[in-house]
Structure formats: C-alpha cells, structure tokens
Amino acid sequence: MKKKVVSLSLTASLALSGLVAATGFAAPSSDSSAKNYTKSHGAPEFVAGKLTNPSQKAAKDIVLGYLKASKGNYNLSTNDSFAVTSQEADKLGGDVVRLQQTHQGVPVWGATQVARVDEAGVLQVFSGTISKGLGEKLVKASNKKSQRDAIAVAENDLGFKADYEVDPSAELVVYPTEDQAVFAYHVTLNFLSPEPGNYQYFVNAVTGEIINKYNALHTAGKNNPSLNGSDTVGSGVGVLGDTKTLNTLLSNGSYYLQDNTRGNGVFTYDAKNRQRTPGSLWVDADNNLNAAYDGAAVDAHYYAGLTYDYYKNTFGRNSYDNNGAALRSTVHYGRSYNNAFWNGQQMVYGDGDGTTFIPLSGGLDVVAHELTHAVTDFSSDLVYQYESGALNEAISDIFGTLAEFHDNNDPDFEIGEDIYTPKTAGDALRSMSDPTKYGDPDHYSVRYTGTSDNGGVHINSGIINKAAYLLSQGGSHYGVSVPGVGTDKMGAIFYRANTVYFTSSTNFSQARAGVVQAAKDLYGSTSPEVDAVNKAFDAVGIY
C-alpha cells in the first residue's frame, strides 16, 4: 500500500506486494520500453458470446481449436503456439482453461489468456492478451548470452551483496513491446537480507541491457514439518488487547500454534527479531497466550484462520491455492520492521517501530490483504507493475475489507487503520471510500503516470477501490449515480472476475470487461447488478 510519502513494503505483501510501496529499487527510466507495458503486446482482447459451436471435445481442445482458427485475426505465425497451464471446473458449469502463449517454444512474457467453455462445449469467453505479429517484430538472436551472464548483470545492478534464500534463476522469454520483441532472460533474485526482496529483472539476451526491473516479493521461505499431538483450544490476547480463542496443538507437554482444523493447517512461527523465516513454531507452556510478546502471534494465527474461513465459507475456496495449502505466518521479523509481506510460501510480519506501525498482524484487513495476494498468485497472477499491478493491489484491499465485514470486525472501508500510526486517531494507509483522503486518485483522468511505485501500483489502486466501494455502497461520483448492491454481491463479482477472467496482463479496461462478465454470469445480462457495475466503472472513468 501507500500512504503519503511513507514507503514501506506492504504490497503483494501489504507493502512488498503488500500494504506499502517497497523502497530501494529504482523503477525503469522514463524512456524505458516498460512504460508501455499494458499496451505492449498489441490490442488487448476480451471476447464474449457464442464463440464456437457445441462440441463433445475436451474444453482445452475447444479453446486450442478456436485459437488455431483465429490465427489470422491475431496475426500469429507457425512459430506461435499456446500451452495449457491449468483447467478447472467452473462453479457455474463448464470449465475454465488458462493458457500461456509461446513463440519458437519460448514463453512470451505477459501473454497469458483464460477461456470459459460451458457445459455444452461452447466457448463463451476468451480473455487475455495475445502478442501479435511476433514473426515480424522479434529481433533475431543467434548469439545469446548465458543464464549466468544475465544473473551477473542483475546482481551488478542490484548494488549490494544479497543473502539468498533461493538460488538466483534465469528463464529465457520473449519480451514484447509495441514496436518490437526481443529474447530476454527473466532473472529472479530472492532474499531476506539485507532487506526482503523478490527482484525481477529482464535482461536482453543479446546485448545484456536491462529492459525492465521491479521488486515483487513473491517466492522465499522454508516449510517446517508439522508436529504430532492432540488438537486443543487455547486463548490469547491480541495486539489491541482483545481476547481470542485459538486452535492449538498439545505435543510433549507444550502447546503450539498449529491449527489442524483448516486445510493442511495454520502454523505461526517466531522469528525472534531475526531476518529469517519461518523461525520456530510458536510454543507456550499453558495454552494461555497473554504476555505482551504473544500478541503478534495471537493475531497472526487467529486472523489467518478467519481469512481461510472467509474464502472457504463464501466461495468454497480451500486455502489460497484452492487445494488446502498450509497457512504459515512468521511474526517478530527483524527489529522495528515497518512492514508485512507474502513471500510466495508464507506471511511475514514486522513489529513496527511503535510510531508508524504497531505489530502489523494486529489488523484483520492487513492479514487478509496479504493472503489475497496469494489467491491472486494462484489464479490471475497479475503482474506487479502498472495497471495490472494496481489491480492486484486493489483486489487485496477489496478482500481485506470484505474479510472484516464477514467477521463483523468493526468493518469499514479504510485499510490498515488498526495498526497504523497508533498515536494518531482516525487515519489509515488508504481509503476505498475516498482515496483522495491520502493522496491517491479516484478517477482514471487523474491517474498517476510515472514510474515510481512500480508504475503506481499502490497509488492507482485507488481508482479500482473507488469503483468497488461505489458498487457496494452506491453514491454519486463525477456526475454518475451508482446504485449499491451490497458487500456480498460486490465480493462475489470481483472474486469471479479475478479467478475466472483476469490474466497476468489485465489492465483497467480489460478489468471492467471481466467484472461486467462476472456480473452477467452470476445475475443475468440484463440484471440491476450488471447495470451497477457499468455505472461504477463509468464513475471512475474506466471504459
């Protein structure tokens, strides 16, 4: 997220992909090809209707057949193909198929698609970006540098020696821009020290030039094995002094924050103010966690369980991967660490410095925000830059807020208010009801167009947040009156859009199309809900 000039890391962490913008990583220069990211692949597409005739073929074959028949429309060559990355049953019937475009057998960065095939074998929706004309645009590369060379370029640019949690990696991709495409290495540098980072570099495979770079803390951490013992119920006092019931485990005479009642478990660890994850599984002598040091662990454990329950009870989703993945949290990370983040495998929470933040696990919307980044990682996988990144942040704000409403936990449309600036009453990191309160835009006409904050992922999230607020609560904005449909329907619509229709490169205009389609699926094409969605996006200037 972002608050005024505070640059923390709560973005696809609340800050590092989390709540606040991460620091210490330069955005691409103003003349970088990456500035045109959302339009760099050709005309974005969202096509709905009866796109094929009924068929008894498998859903993936129907989609691939459609693409083969549409090669002329997309200016695809014989070197272009599509790999099916997943296929899942749609709760409304039929199947949802996700794909990755490849060229000469190499993945095309940002070119992912999703299709919905109904029960009659009819392709109803094809959404996503196909990179057109690569046969003419791709610069030939007979002499490519090695993966090791690309990693060295990224490490040199990083400017400091990192203590890696995961070995650096480099994958060859086709990187398209508006005018041309090049072979590039997608380099990932993932570490926790000296500061957490999941740095993404794109290095021209021929020249060694850095085409694009950003920090999207995503993959790090280790998994500790679970303990054997007896499930028990304890209690604890959270960061704000409230008492909570906790599912724990009794093993060898001690009680551990291990909850075996949800998916493959909820586990909470203690980093003991070190920069290591996951730390030690939290242990207590009497199953009554009421010491001041316990508060961060109590809330992390309890709110992770509530977030699991929200997604399970509301959408039938079994953890962030929909396959029961264990929820792991580490508290007391670092010293006075003003941040929280999702690192690809678990949640990590700092204690704050007592002035800017108190322990960040003390806010349900913070915990649900971060875990929603994980849901996005395993569904639309929105790229953490520019409009797709701002959409990623907004989705986390939306469902962080909706988790509060689901739990009736003093719900509001402010983000992070419970753990931000404890000595200042009434403020927050962001506001969905009035993004301008904290300097964020509430209309596309006043969007941020610079390269800082990964192209405004925390800043421009305010535009989508405002649309979601209007859809839920109603109101008049920029002369457009929007009828509210309530929090439950707003959540249902955005959840379906994110998990069925958004792809890695979805921009704001494509997002509107996906949200409208989700409302049509759920409530009918001529329903008041569809009308409300259209007016909500009209109100914030997204067409």
- Catalytic positions are 370, 458
- Do the Cβ atoms of 443 and 543 come closer than 8 Å? no
Give the three-state DSSP class for 380: coil
Q: Which amino acid is at 340?
A: A
Q: Using alpha carbons only, give the angle 327, 167, 382 rounded to the nearest 5 degrees.
A: 55
Residues in CB range of 521: below 8 A, 6 or more apart: 92, 496, 500
Locate 66 and state its tokens: 């459609």
Q: Is 77 exposed, middle or buried (0-12, 13-18, 19+ CB in 10 A)?
A: middle
Question: How many angstroms separate the CA atoms of 386 and 201, rounded?
Answer: 16
Q: Crossing angle for the helix pair 295-315 and 364-377, nearest 10 degrees?
A: 50
- Do the Cβ atoms of 374 and 320 come closer than 8 Å? yes
Q: Is 526 exposed, middle or buried (0-12, 13-18, 19+ CB in 10 A)?
A: exposed
**Residue for token pair 């859009």:** 497
Residue 416, CA distances (Å) to 3, 358, 362, 370 in order: 10, 11, 9, 12
Whether omega for the bond prior to residue 278 falls within 30 degrees of 0, making it cis, is yes
Question: How many angstroms separate the CA atoms of 364 and 357, rounded?
Answer: 14
